Structure 1
Amino acid sequence: MESNKTVEVLYNKQILPAYYKLGIGWKGLTDIEPGQFVMLRLTGRIDPLLRRPFGVYKILGQGIEILYKVVGKGTRLMTGLRPGDMVDILGPLGNSFPNPISSPFAKEGQRGMKIIMVAGGIGIVPFYLLGVKGQWSGSRQVLLFGGMGKEDLPGLEDFKKLGINIFISTEDGSVGKKGLVTDLLKKELSKKGNYIVYACGPKGMLKEVARIADKAGVACYVSLDQVMACGMGACLGCAVKVRERKNVGQGFSPANVFYKIVCKDGPVFDAKEIDWEAI
């Protein structure tokens, strides 16, 4: 169940030119599932006024670690946080990536399903918890990690320590295979096996991942990164168009155009639900 509280900064470390790890103390922390997020605001500031969404990267006992990228005013201000500073936090929020063994697409008694995690840059965030907590009985995992270059692969060393098979692509060829991470996905799916794809990253990457998985007849779930204001579905600011009425669930449907709310219904969705042409 989500909670709203003021918590203490434990550390704020720069790990790459545009990426930081923020440790936050959180007494009484409830369990957090891979893909869930929190809404964070700097205590005592009115600009930016609204909280910003951040995926939970790690659980630190009585605390969490947020891996964030500096992209605007709010995250630039966050780089100045020091141990002992306070931040306002609301969470955990949202749903999580499904357990492939208990999901409808898993055959009865299915074991050995291979989870393909496809991450682009900061889209790596939900997959560390998945690597730690999501190694369900009989499941195997592989990480396909893409970025612009070597400075766009945050957390890479953390995943190496987990012992997960990792394949890397960079657009400039500075690390791994030169090209797009979706090229790695095509290669992985060309191998014989029973797969499910989980993806998080830029919308263009997610659209292509969804297309590739659909063509291969493989189940695919995507975590959408959408601008949010409230994080609880009240403001409807993070609505995304979905394809069919039967997939709407808890969404709303003005003028026969159907939507779901990313913060409330997501952020993880079956890729078949999303109207990718409207993204």
Structure 2
Amino acid sequence: MSVVTDDPMGDMIIERLSRCTHPVKVGGRFGTAFLYNELLESTPETDRVREWVVTADQFTRDPLLELRLRPELIELAPSADYLALIHVEGAWTRRAGVGVLSSWVLHEHADRKGWRWRTQEVTDGIAATKQQVQAVLADGERRAWALGHFDYEVVEVPGEPRPQGLVGASVTRDPDGVVRWRGELPEGFAGAPVFVADQLGRREFAMRCVGVVASADRNPTIVTFDIIRELVARASNSASRTRGWRGLLGRRRGDHT
């Protein structure tokens, strides 16, 4: 269940990316994870990407991570309500409060069970570069939106665990260089992607994912996407050296299945 607003930017986020997030749980802590596609090669017919799960570091260090299976993200609905990722704590690559994990573990599980993911992802075109992050934060506070999952279940709506919500506030960089969300976020939003509207012209704007929520307390830290890109590059190099790569995907343009 997404919170639809009268805001054109909010509506764009819901339309294009509502299927990129996953509710996660570790012990008694609730959070959010999302999918990011690292673009490797683009041709007129196909984009070759590596797909990653991105979340807050605090959900990556336990032997058991529970990932909710949202029915709208799946073709041929599975029999379980959640996917238990066991003993993957050593497979995460971490830095500065964020962790990334190859999504092959999700696709491998779906293949074994006979169903397919039907998702959306934060793409390379949406993920902010270092220069774009600097531009976003150059002029003080910027309006921002976080797309995450609340820490409760809607028991009266079947198949609606951990509803999704879109929360608006602003982001800014502190004098000490820390990027923060200015305001409160609901419990469960740690690990959520954060978006801004990048002005292209008088009447045009582009949606940018500026980073990820590292915690969900008041004025939480935001780990910006330039750091996430560096982390993904490190994880890719490590995977290539140690066990080859199992997370390589070929996607037709506009194909999110």
Q: What is the TM-score when the length of structure 2 is the normalising length?
A: 0.26
Higher share in strand = 2
Higher RCO structure (Cα 8 Å, ≥6 apart)? 2
Q: What is the TM-score when the length of structure 1 is the normalising length?
A: 0.25
